[in-house]
Amino acid sequence: MTQNPLQTTDHGAVRVITVDRPDKLNALDRETLRSLDEAFDAAAQDASVRVVVLTGSGPKAFVAGADISQMAGLSPAEARDFSLLGTRMMRRVERMPKPVIAMVNGFALGGGLELAMCCHLRIAADSAKLGLPEVTLGLLPGFGGSQRLPRLVGRAAALELCLTGAPIDAARALQLGLVNRVVAAESLEEETMQLARKLAQGAPLAMRAILDAVMVGGECSLDDGLEYESAQFGLVFASDDAREGMAAFLERRKPAFDNR
């Protein structure tokens, strides 16, 4: 029987999804991509889950890349299908209606960095290494790296990373805006979970609207984005959570959001 490539654990309203292939440095093969797609779909549908943390098993790697041993034998048509499989899964993560935090605990290379980039927030250990080394294999990023990286760090920095294939350390990634925070490796889990628990206490409908507005706005004109933001503002204003939040502010108390 094939071992499940993922571990999933719940800590209150925070679900931790761990890619669990440490012997392969958590490399992404077809089964792992499909399992991730199913796991994020399940998290999106589960009302008890408010935040998702994604990480890799073991101290060495978040995800070291796609599984080259599986990729090497692909035909061109099969390679395109493999790319589309990964792209669809990562798009699902990116469009999750709940915050997703990548806890980058080691190597995040190739498909691993692409997976981290589709998460909404990224916290990296100070020992992490990040990069897109596909060019050194005679390839290019196939899971959205050539599209998301310029949006995060700008075209010039993205081209340097993609064309050289050289990894960067966590400090450089923070400087470029590729990660949100860098913390000591021994504090990574504690600080990531602290942020996740804080987000889990927030207003779920408002956070979903923020995620939608930022993602949609980043893919359309400013005028269209502003119109979409106003529409979302009106929808959220009709929620019980919005009334509770404003009442709590006026009454100088902590709000109690119930996702309605």
Residues with active-site annotation: 114, 134
Contact between 101 and 195 (Cβ < 8 Å): yes
CA–CA gap between residue 241 and residue 233 (Å, rounded) = 13
- Cα dist. 40→93, 97, 187 in Å? 7, 10, 26
CA–CA gap between residue 121 and residue 144 (Å, rounded) = 17
Amino acid in the structure at residue 238: A
Eight-state DSSP code of residue 100: E
Phi, psi torsion values for 244, nearest 5 degrees:
-65, -45
3-state secondary structure 32-82: HHHHHHHHHHHHHHCCCCCEEEEEECCCCEEECCECHHHHCCCCHHHHHHH
Phi, psi torsion values for 80, nearest 5 degrees:
-65, -45
